[in-house]
Amino acid sequence: MAPLLSVKNLSIGFGKDDSVVQDVSFDVAPGETLALVGESGSGKTITCRAVLRILPKAAQIRSGSIHMQCAQGPTDLVTLEERKMRDLRGNQVAMIFQEPMRSLSPLHRIGNQVAEVLWLHGRKSEAEAKKEVLACFERVGFPDPERTYSSYPFELSGGMRQRAMIAMAMVAKPQLLIADEPTTALDVTTQAQVLGLMKELQRDTGMAMILVTHDLGVVANMAEQVVVMHKGRVMEAGSAEPLLSTPAHPYTRALIAAAPKIPAAAEPQALPSREDLILEMTAVSKTYSMRAGKGWKAPSLIHACRGVDLKLPRGKTLAIVGESGSGKTTAARIALGAEPPDAGGTVVFRGREGSDAIQVHQMDRTARTAFQREAQMVFQDPYSSLSPRMRILDTMTEPLEIHDIGTRAERRDRAAEMLNTVGLSRDMLQRYPHAFSGGQRQRLSIARALMLNPSLLVCDEPTSALDVSVQEQILRLLERIRDQQKLSYFFISHDLAVVARIADEVAVMRRGLIVEQATPETLFHNPQHPYTKALIAAQPEPDIHRPIDLKLVAQGAGSPDDWPEQFRFSGLDAPPLVPLEPGHKVRCHV
Amino acid sequence: MEILRYALYRFGTMLLTLWVVSVLVFVIINLPPGDYLSNQIAELRASGQSAGVAKAEFLRSEYALDKPLWQQYFIWVGFLPGPHGFSGLIQGNFGWSFEFDRPVAEIVGDSLWLTVLVNLAAVLFVYVVALPLGVLAAARARTWVDYTSAFVGYLGLATPNFLLALILFYYGHRWFNLPIGGLMDPAFEGEPMSMAKVNSILIHLIVPTFVIGTAGASAMMQRLRANMLDELGKPYVETAIAKGMSPTRMLAKYPLRVAFNPFVADIGNLLPSMISGSVLVSVVLGLQTIGPTLLTALKTQDMFLSAFVLMFVALLTLIGTMISDVLLVLLDPRIRYEGRDA
């Protein structure tokens, strides 16, 4: 069959610099999915944008052709005049972007933004367009299409917004859909559902798809053809099955090796000993009250954390896993004393073995300063957690200055030593953060957190903003430092596979409640709770023979009212956390 | 419906603010020792003119200036009966100007609505000029269009208003035969409204509008340009292009709509800054606005007159902010639905 889209020898560059995309060729057959895989900076996004010619102003297509079998015959998209290109966009070739939060205008109703595609391409009257949009909304899974039509984007959750984006792309029934990291900003369970939806729609309409992603797990679940890109060049291309099972190129092999996997059949392991606890949270709850819209109504309460009990033994890693809004970050903030728990909750911290226990939320000024030396945090986004106006040296030595430790020279030496520890060199001290890549910045964040020689490190999704191969390096670094410096980690993540690797104990959280708690081995070997099962099932893996089980995902990730009898509850009336066997607790009725 | 309720609520808070402002104005005006009359009495005593003293004493009791300050305030506003029953601001009696020896209402008279007119014209001018230029400068950022408009804008910002006024008068008169000074032909002053009078006022308005508006317009233009540039980098702009929208239509529908918020929010700021900024211009151009009156009243401690003018300016400002608040709620669903269950 003749390919729908045929990209030949495409080269794109900025200004006078070397091309960022060099000599890229691939074909997309009708009804087929092609995955463009690579890390950030590989040129995959530029390549897919070149198809629609929505490149940054400074970028130019230097050579090559992009031929498409359009409705009106074969066309070269590189030389097509702008006006005709406009008719093509949204109509025959549609696109979905990475950030559903920001890809919709906040000031226009969803219905208006979606129906606009039909208005623009002038095929429908307003009433007809609305009818079609409503049908499309229903198809992508909005329970109440009419209501969605007149909603604003900020009234929808991230997953729902991405569904709206998909509806926008699908409503004109394009022949080709370009999806640029469509699920990267979503939770695993939402990601699984959105991917399932895209696949279903593709089967219904027979459109072709270009899927741009860095996640080989997503590729294995979605694509028939794969193009692996690195530094603007195609490393390897071919059918998904052989490429993923027997990769030929070393770069592909490295990518697959770096992808985090859930261990297939692990043996249950005993819990670490619980004698010397560095951190102990007991009955920690946190309730926020939201100001109600109408002044005379009682404010609505949001239960961010409910009755969380956690124990972190010294030198170990305790992980909390959950989707956004599950309360995992709130729990970490309370553990660090950044926020007080509701009355009745206590957090006890023992900085060094045998030292006095500190009540984290009843400290005076001096105790708090001392506590801050012992407990530090590594943040999620390495781009915004380092001040762009401070040299690395100043950022690194600031904690020492605050706590008045050492002379200038000593602080400097300590900073250099820490850079060494995290695998950077000391001559980087004079640079500013913008001179570093994402992975290097996260190393800097870790180095800064280590400056005070703490005993507890709270890591809030430290790798979720990074490429897989970089994620692998950061995790290895964190493990090495933990073992060398006898650190304890309180680790927060939405990614089970990451947690599986680093944690000694995992607590799965959902809507403020811990639903299951065990060692990672037990959790993956013998998950009990439907939500845990959903999380595991939703994890995309670079194995084409292990597709995401959407039924499991839908069941567990749904509302607690729909869980199987044993686990079901509604409202705040949750069953207790019951120990099944030593070290394995599940929230269920007994 | 919801919007109507909000507008009512906003009107209520405006009245409350106005009341607070009235207290402040009254207190500030009475801060300097003495008042117009006691100063005059002292002066008359020193020069031995007892007849004048008697008249001044009479006026003092007539306007309750011999009462304690808090009573004076309540009488002035009209919450308490004065020597002649309830007769304060809320009853429509603006007081007596001692300096001009006439009722305040008579002195400010025409200049009240002329002030409103001049400033409205200036605000309109600011918007009409800044909107297209700001959008154009952003859409053609870092090209000669952008640089030229920025250059002209900075010239507008940097030129002192009164200098601009003099230059415009000279050349306006020379080339276009525009009239010099005033807001209408002297023949129409005090005359009832007629087509000819309206015409005369409109022609006289050209130069003052331009003079008062330029600085505001160039500042507004730069602000709009910066806002637009921020918005142009947002992903939803890319989404719109990927839908197949033409650049012009996309620009008008999406980024402009978002960048419009600060634009609207500025109405509230614009009015007071224009009124206080136009005092000097009004003096130079000989406009019959309220500015020059305020200046005289403040200099001579003519308390009722200055208090009234200050209250009037405050009222204009409050109305401006109210309008911009209501408009913002109309324009931005994020503000409208704040606190609504999602």
pLDDT tens digits, A39-83: 888 889 999 999 999 988 888 899 999 999 988 888 999 999 999
Residues 6 or more apart in contact with residue A485 via CB below 8 angstroms: A450, A453
Smallest Cβ distance to B254: which of A105, A154, A168?
A105
Check residue B341 and give its pLDDT: 38
The distance of B147 to chain A (nearest Cα, Å) reads 19
ipTM over 0.85: no
B-chain CB neighbours of A98 within 8 Å are 235
Residues B239, A168: C-beta atoms closer than 8 Å: yes
- Which range is most confident: A32-46, B32-46, B92-106, B109-123? A32-46
pLDDT tens profile B287-312: 878 888 888 888 888 888 888 888 98
- Chain A residue numbers with beta carbons less than 8 Å from the beta carbon of B6 are none
- Decide which of B55 and A23 is more confident: A23
Hey, which residues 204-263 in chain B have their CB within 8 Å of chain A?
A: 234-236, 238-246, 253-254, 257-258
Residue A508 has pLDDT above 90, yes or no: yes
CATH 3.40.50.300 in chain A is located at: 5-100+174-257, 277-587
The neighbouring-strand residues paired with A507 are: A320, A517
What pLDDT is stored for residue A267 in this prediction? Answer: 60
Statement: residue A468 has pLDDT above 60: yes
A154 → chain B, closest CA residue = B334
Bridge partner residues of A458 (DSSP): A377, A490
Residues B245, A86: C-beta atoms closer than 8 Å: yes
Hey, are the CB atoms on B244 and A97 less than 8 Å from each other? no
Instruction: Summarize the confidence of residues A380-389 as an average pLDDT.
Output: 86
Q: Tell me which long-range contacts B277-283 makes (C-beta under 8 A, separation of at least 24).
A: B277/B161, B277/B212, B277/B215, B278/B118, B278/B119, B278/B122, B278/B161, B278/B208, B278/B212, B280/B161, B280/B162, B281/B161, B281/B162, B281/B165, B281/B208, B281/B211, B281/B212, B282/B118, B282/B208
Judge whether B340 is closer than 8 Å to chain A, CB to CB: yes
CA max distance for chain B:
88
Asked whether residue B35 carries a pLDDT value surpassing 80, the answer given is no
The string of pLDDT tens digits covering residues B226-283 is 999 988 888 899 999 999 999 889 998 999 888 888 888 887 777 777 777 677 788 8
- The fourth-level CATH superfamily of domain A5-100+174-257 is P-loop containing nucleotide triphosphate hydrolases (3.40.50.300)
C-alpha A299, offset from chain centre: 32
Is the model more confident about B254 or about B341? B254
Average of pLDDT values for A182-190? 85
Which of B13, B239, B245 has the highest number of chain A CBs within 10 A, making it the mutation to test binding with A? Answer: B239
Q: What is the mean pLDDT of chain A?
A: 88
Q: In what order do the strands lie in the sheet with A317-321?
A: A375-378, A456-460, A488-493, A317-321, A505-510, A513-518, A584-587, A577-581
How close B269 gets to chain A, by Cα (Å)? 24
Task: List the domains of chain B with CATH numbers.
Answer: 109-300 (1.10.3720.10)
Cβ distance B277 to B283 under 8 Å? Answer: no
CB contact under 8 A, B334 and A117: no
Question: Which pLDDT belongs to residue B340?
Answer: 43
Which residue in A has a C-alpha nearest to residue B239's C-alpha? A103
Place of tokens 């007149």: A150
A52 at interface of B, judged by CB pairs closer than 8 A? yes
The pLDDT of residue A297 is 58
Strand partners, B85: B82, B83
User: A36-59 as b/e, with b when 16 or more CB fall inside 10 Å?
Assistant: bbbbebbbbbbbbbbbbbbeeeeb
| pTM across the whole model | 0.81
**Residues A170/A138, Cβ–Cβ less than 8 Å:** no
pLDDT given for residue A210 in this prediction: 96
**Residue A181 three-state SS:** coil
Chain B residues inside the 8 Å CB shell of A117: 243-244
Q: Which residue has better confidence, A389 or B47?
A: A389
Per DSSP bridges, beta strands A317-321 and A346-349 are unpaired
What's A277-587's CATH class? alpha beta
The count of residues in chain B is 342
**pLDDT value at A174 more than 90:** yes
**Contacts of residue A165 in chain B, CB cutoff 8 Å?**
239
